[in-house]
Amino acid sequence: MTDRARASSGLEIQGLHAFYGQSHVLRGVDLSVKPGQLVAILGRNGAGKSTLIKSIMGLIKKCSGQIRLGDVDLLGRPADQIARMGLAWVPEDRGIFASLTVAENLRLPPILASDAPDEAALFALFPALHERLNTPGTRLSGGEQQMLALARMLRTGARTLLLDEPTEGLAPLIVAQIGEIIAQLKRSGYTLLLVEQNLQWIAPLADHLYVLEQGRIVDECASEDFEGRLPSLIAHLGL
């Protein structure tokens, strides 16, 4: 994939609280993703990681604080409007339509930018998908589904990307391939926020790491400090 001139937007989150009914899930989260950065959110199951991503995408209705994409405050905006602002999300379950083929899944989302990668560019990045164009989603492996979800997200032309557990349940070889693709996206100027539990996999890719625990950021470090902070990160994650 070649570099493109259109800039991606950073994310700034300040004092974010989120609720499911009476359950207070996020408790004053502050984090920053600068344009062109890859930032990872680490944490155990139930820490609030997916709730954070859903809050950014406008899917958690009871929120307070501030979520900014570039100069625009997202809080309170409907999810479809947020998606059309250049922000795209691959959920943990990948969201593949099982009854549709690879080609149909790929062509389903709207193209929101004139410089969105075309199918040729996507097939260069995901060659396995080209061989499976007429295969229904039910017959794809977990790795193929993840690649299709990534390709479908990129096809919209979004430049700020949210990925929820992109390596979960995948074989080590596929995890390595996903890592190479994500590194290439970062080199191409995309802004990425990843929820991940695989510390050893994400640390070499990330510019900054945050640890979420019981809805609060309890630790963070920049990539250059990773080695010195590794014992602290491991302790928080229970590894």
- CATH code for the domain of 70: 3.40.50.300
- Token pair in block for residue 109: 């989302």
Residue 13 lies in a domain: no
How high is the mean pLDDT of the chain? 92
Residue 6 lies in a domain: no
pLDDT at 4: 42
Residue 197 lies in a domain: yes
Please say if the pLDDT value at position 2 is more than 60.
Answer: no
Number of domains in the chain: 1
Full domain range(s) for residue 177: 25-237
Taking every pair of Cα atoms in the chain, the longest distance, rounded to a whole number of angstroms, is: 49
Provide the 8-state DSSP code for 138.
G
- Token pair in block for residue 135: 């295969």
Q: What is the pLDDT of residues 97-154, one digit of tens each?
A: 989 999 999 999 889 888 899 999 999 999 999 999 999 988 999 999 999 999 999 9
Residue 12 lies in a domain: no
What percent of the chain is modeled with pLDDT above 90?
Answer: 76
Residue 1 lies in a domain: no
pLDDT at 151: 96
Beta-carbon count within 10 A of 140 CB: 22
Residue 11 lies in a domain: no
Please say if the pLDDT value at position 16 is more than 90.
Answer: yes
pTM comes to 0.92
Please say if the pLDDT value at position 3 is more than 60.
Answer: no
Residue 14 lies in a domain: no
Q: Are 165 and 95 in contact (CB under 8 A)?
A: no
Say which range, 17-21, 35-39, 71-75, 229-233, has the weakest mean pLDDT: 229-233
Residue with tokens 């009914």: 21
Confidence of residue 6 (pLDDT cuts 50, 70, 90): low
Please say if the pLDDT value at position 18 is more than 70.
Answer: yes
Residue 58 lies in a domain: yes
Please say if the pLDDT value at position 162 is more than 50.
Answer: yes
**222: three-class secondary structure by DSSP:** strand
Please say if the pLDDT value at position 163 is more than 90.
Answer: yes
